[in-house]
Amino acid sequence: MLNTARLVFPGFWFDKTPEEEALALARAGVGGFCLYGGTKTRVATLTRKLRAASPLPRILIAADYEDGLGRWLPDAELLPSNLALGATEDEALALEKGYITAREALRIGVDWVFAPVVDLANNAANPIVNTRSFGADPQQVTRLAGAFMKGLAQGGALNCLKHFPGHGNTTTDSHMAMPVVTDTLTQLQNETLVPFVHLLPFAHSVMAGHLLVPTLDNKNPASVSKTIIHGLLQQTMGFTRCVCTDALLMKALGDEKQAALQALDAGAHILLVPQKPMELIEFLKLQVFPDEILKRAERVLNELCAQADELAATARKVPFSAAEFSQRVARKALVPLGHFPPVEPGDTVHLLNVGNDENFSSVPFIDTLRAYGIITEDFKSPQETDTLIILFWRRYKPFSGKIGLTEEETNFVNNAVKNVRRTLLICFANPFAARNVNTEGQLLAFSPSPVFQQAAAECVMGLFEPVGKLPMKL
């Protein structure tokens, strides 16, 4: 009979989780791990150790590499965001992103990528989806996410659709509290669920979100709802493969042990990233589960491991460059709004950074301007400024709960642009910030990566025409 420890996939945070603790969990028979942080070398070393320590013939190592390894690893390329790909409307680029992600993940021992996000970017106040989405149009999300999934498969990695039944139309970060999806049944059928409906046949797994969807179940969040997982996903929609919960440590749920029992009863097969994994394993050992639940989970996990082996064995191995790929996307993704005359060599540009919570370096942007003879200075006052460029950096960040300009920041920026002749806002992350700022022009870049900063600077100088299409409504 299945060892219930295999249902648990603990998280591992480099520089936070003790390695011996992870190895003990591996020896206890967990089904796999979800990794956060590290470097390429450290991840590769750890994945080898975890697999060697496990008594199971196969464990799965997963990570949230939604924007490539660079989303978590400082020594890897941060690939263009999904919303940037939405601005290109280019399926070939989405496929390439999936392929590069899979090839780089497998090189360091990660065989399961928790992507793509197929939530819609249809709520400006959503603090956790935003640039993770391919856009607001369900058909475009389906096309681009489907291409990304093909790329992952060609590169040899498992995929995961998330967050079922759709996290887009919410205003709460589920890492902090329970989001409520207010969609009507018609909205769910015609918009929110559309990507899932079309992509489920190609999905290796689905992640159920910590979301209360009163139209479907007014009592239980999706991740522990039998009505939503078993009833809607598995029976009505016919999905027979792996269902995992979103991370159990997220604050949207209460007691994680009871949530784990509810999730398994609801039809989930994997309990992802609990706060106290060893305690949960010991708790599960004491429970009496119907044979049907354990047999179903064992079958699904065995199939998932077999799929991982098959994908790795049949993966295409063609040369690629993550940096060159990002450069090509950046030239196609930038979206211009309003009017901003190009700056020219010899011009002085004042810069104002806003919402830089993660302390992104603006050096790539500044160095590109200076390389073409533009003089850059920090903004001090409107009286001394002829040309002002505001750099906005805030992007989705788990446990943050905010993504837009605060009221204080909005007022500060709008006061700063008064009486300045040329004003431009560049959004290197959340594009919805452009709605509240009274600048002459805006440029949506969708990513804080150096490549996108360089492209934005060249665009500001008029070296190329931005051709991206707005993938959502402002």
For residue 340 the two structure tokens come to 């901003």
Residue 166, strand partner residues: none
CATH code, 279: 3.20.20.300
- pLDDT at residue 83 in the model: 98
Euclidean distance between CA atoms 449 and 210, whole angstroms: 30
pLDDT digits (tens, 9 = 90+) for 416-448: 998 899 999 999 999 998 888 999 999 999 999
Are residues 53 and 18 part of one domain?
yes
Do 364 and 287 lie in a common domain?
no
Report in angstroms the alpha-carbon separations of 143 from 85, 112, 360. Answer: 11, 21, 31
Provide the pLDDT for residue 132.
95
Helix (H, G, I), strand (E, B) or coil at 285: helix
Q: Which residue has the tokens 């950096």?
A: 393
pTM: 0.96
Distance CA 223, CA 181 (A): 13
Supply the residues annotated as catalytic.
175, 246
| Torsion angle of the four alpha carbons 429, 434, 436, 441, in this order, in degrees rounded to the nearest 10 | 140
Two tokens, residue 87: 């601005």
- Per-residue model confidence (pLDDT) at position 1: 72
pLDDT of residue 176: 58
On whether both 84 and 137 belong to a single domain, the answer is: yes
Q: How many helices (H) and strands (E) does the chain have?
A: 14, 15
Identify the bridge partners of residue 38 per DSSP, sorted by sequence position: none
Task: For residues 213-218, give the mean pLDDT.
Answer: 96
* Alpha carbon 12 to chain centroid, angstroms: 18
Say what the pLDDT of residue 402 is.
67
How does residue 254 score in pLDDT terms, banded at 50, 70 and 90?
confident
Would you say the C-alpha torsion 427, 173, 5, 152 has a positive or negative sign? negative
**Cα–Cα nearest to 213, from 199, 229, 190:** 229
177 and 220 part of one domain? yes
Q: Which residues, 6+ apart, have CB-to-CB distance to 453 below 8 Å? A: 362, 364, 365, 368, 428, 445
Domain boundary among 254, 288, 321: 321
Residues 174 and 284 placed together within one structural domain of the fold: yes
Query: Do 308 and 359 sit in the same domain of this protein?
Result: no
Q: Do 166 and 133 form a contact (C-beta atoms < 8 A)?
A: no
Residue type, 173: D
Which residue range is the domain that position 246 belongs to? Answer: 4-321
Confidence at 87, pLDDT banded by 50, 70, 90 = very high
> What average pLDDT does the segment 257-284 reach?
97
Q: Are residues 310 and 377 in the same domain?
A: no
Supply 470's token pair. Answer: 């707005």
Residues 342 and 311 in one domain: no
How high is the pLDDT of residue 70? 96
In this structure, are residues 354 and 403 in contact, taking their beta carbons and an 8 Å threshold? no
Q: Which two tokens stand for residue 113?
A: 């990528």
Q: Where would I find the beta strands (DSSP E) of 23-86?
A: 32-36, 60-63
What gap in Å lies between CA 161 and CA 102, rounded to an integer? 15
> Does residue 175 register a pLDDT over 90?
no
Task: Assess whether pLDDT exceeds 90 at residue 251.
Answer: no
Q: Is residue 125 predicted with pLDDT exceeding 90?
A: no
Instruction: State which amino acid sits at residue 55.
Output: P
271 in a structural domain = yes
- pLDDT value, residue 173: 60
User: In this structure, is residue 468 part of a structural domain?
Assistant: no
Q: Assess if residue 255 is contained within a domain.
A: yes
> Buried b / exposed e across 155-167, counting CB within 10 Å, b at 16+?
bbbbbbbbbbbbb
- Return d(Cα 365, Cα 115) in angstroms, integer: 29
- Mind listing the pLDDT tens digit for each residue in 365-399? 999 999 999 999 999 887 888 999 999 999 876 65
Q: What percent of the chain has pLDDT over 70?
A: 97
Percent of the chain with pLDDT over 90: 87
Classify residue 310: in a domain, yes or no.
yes
H or E element at residue 8: strand 8-9
Distance CA 80, CA 451 (A): 9
- On whether both 305 and 174 belong to a single domain, the answer is yes
Q: What is the pLDDT of residue 328?
A: 98
Q: Which one has a higher pLDDT value, 402 or 13?
A: 13
Co-location of 254 and 399 in the same domain: no
Domain contains 465: no
pLDDT at 174: 60
Domain closes at, from 261, 295, 321: 321
Domain final residue pick, 261, 294, 321: 321
- Three-class SS of residue 58? coil
Q: What is the per-residue pLDDT for 172? A: 64
Which CATH number is 411's domain given? Answer: 3.40.50
In this structure, how many other beta carbons lie within 10 angstroms of the beta carbon of residue 383?
A: 7
Total of domains in the chain? 2
In terms of domains, do 115 and 159 share one?
A: yes
In this structure, the answer to whether residues 202 and 258 fall within a common structural domain is: yes
